[in-house]
Amino acid sequence: MVSVTDLQTMYEQMVTARHYEERLVDEYLVGKQPAFDISAGPIPGELHLAAGHEASGAGVCMHLRDDDTVTAPHRPHHIAIAKGVDLKRMTAEIFGRKTGLCRGKGGHMHLFDPDVNFACAGIIAQGCPPAVGAAMAAKKRNTDSVAVAFLGEGAIDQGGFLESLNLAAVHDLPVVFVVEDNDWAISMPKDRVTDVQNGAQRAAGFDLPGVRIDSDDATAVYEAAGEAVMRARDGNGPTLIEVQVHRRMGHFMGDAEAYRPEADIDRAKQRDSIERLAADLRSHGVTDDDIDEMRERAHGRVEAAISWAKEQPEPEPAEAYENVFTNPPAQAATDGGSAADAPGDAGETGGDN
Ligand SMILES: Cc1ncc(C[n+]2csc(CCOP(=O)(O)OP(=O)(O)O)c2C)c(N)n1
Ligand SMILES: [Mg+2]
């Protein structure tokens, strides 16, 4: 049974994630309008927001420790926040700053935080094989760490996912696969690409437990994930969980969603897992004042991270050639000065990588 303290922790994380994304919307739009120049402003490039997915990240990560591994897809913020990724350095990364998690080179889709074993990337289902690798490493080292791979329902036909399920099953690895089903893969509704409406059924093909949670109820996610993580930690192998979530915004910022029926957008907005959890808290005797205090704390944390990030220095142009696998173009090597001499830089890799 979930405790009130755990419900409160989840609530605060979910509010943090939602407010974080709402604030990123403001920051992202600076300088991009009126013609929507995706490369302009303080957050250049794509931005995929996960508003409506919060219950999944919070409910699962409540059971995880820093030494457990999480891999996330291109819509990662709610999961990163719940896993305990450093919010300031994550924000600096999103703003392309030097002190960002990846020195400002990865942006919002390529966050990597070794302190809490978190990584995400934009190729769908890409996180599954590394999560299986982390689980295999944990097993070989005789630790009780587990790994969790999050993916979208649009990725459940990917070979990388299906092969990962198979390898995890064959070796009884401590890994949990969490499918976030928001009904859409960019503009493609789920029923146009698969006849399997319950993605957790994929587990049966690998003789694994598969659980579907039909509503984005943080408590239901918490309970299902608790069982799956315990099963993995106890050496009893993998589980597949699918959680129904809702995409409250476009696929990415700037997506006009012309393909999406208004009624579907409205439905997504009405099913608010955060409001649902607030109601649960009240039914457990948590007062409105307590709830306000949690919201204020969450908002304060977000504002502090954004202000800090915006004060951080931009990387020097020559740093573009550090920690990469290819040599700088000849012209840049001459102009870039110290880049080719820096430790771990392209100069050390040599050859054509
Ligand atoms: C292997 C691969 N193919 C195609 C893409 C382009 N792409 C980016 S997001 C996306 C849809 C993902 O849908 P889903 O997995 O349901 O995640 P959601 O965006 O709904 O969270 C696609 C096809 C990609 N990133 N990787
Ligand atoms: Mg989807």
Please give the number of the atom of ligand 1 that sits closest to the Cα of 156.
15
Centroid of ligand 1 to alpha carbon of 254 (angstroms): 16
pLDDT 10s digit of each residue in the chain, 353 long? 899 999 999 999 999 999 999 999 999 999 998 888 999 999 999 999 999 999 999 999 999 999 999 999 999 999 999 999 999 999 999 999 999 999 999 999 999 999 999 999 999 999 999 999 999 999 999 999 999 999 999 999 999 999 999 999 999 999 999 999 999 999 999 999 899 989 999 999 999 999 999 998 999 999 999 999 999 999 999 999 999 999 999 999 999 999 999 999 999 999 999 999 999 999 999 999 999 999 999 999 999 999 999 999 999 988 988 888 877 777 765 554 444 444 333 333 333 32
CA distance 146 to 168: 12
Using CA positions, which residue lies closest to atom 11 of ligand 1?
Answer: 185
CA distance 113 to 276: 31
Please give the number of the atom of ligand 1 that sits closest to the Cα of 124.
26
Whether residue 182 has its Cβ less than 6 Å from ligand 1: yes
Please give the number of the atom of ligand 1 that sits closest to the Cα of 125.
1
- Amino acid making up residue 252: F
CA distance 129 to 198: 22
Contact 194, 155 (CB under 8 A): no
For residue 112, what are the β-bridge partners?
119
Contact 199, 212 (CB under 8 A): yes
Burial of 195 from C-beta contacts in 10 A (0-12 / 13-18 / 19+)? exposed
Q: Which domains does the chain have, with CATH numbers?
A: 4-311 (3.40.50.970), 319-349 (no CATH)
**pTM across the whole model:** 0.93
- Amino acid making up residue 119: A
Centroid of ligand 2 to alpha carbon of 156 (angstroms): 10
Q: List alpha helices for 146-287, DSSP H.
A: 159-170, 218-233, 262-270, 273-283
Which of 21, 157, 186, 242 has most ligand 1 atoms within 8 Å of CB, for mutation?
Answer: 186
Please give the number of the atom of ligand 1 that sits closest to the Cα of 181.
16
Ligand nearest to the CA of 79: 1
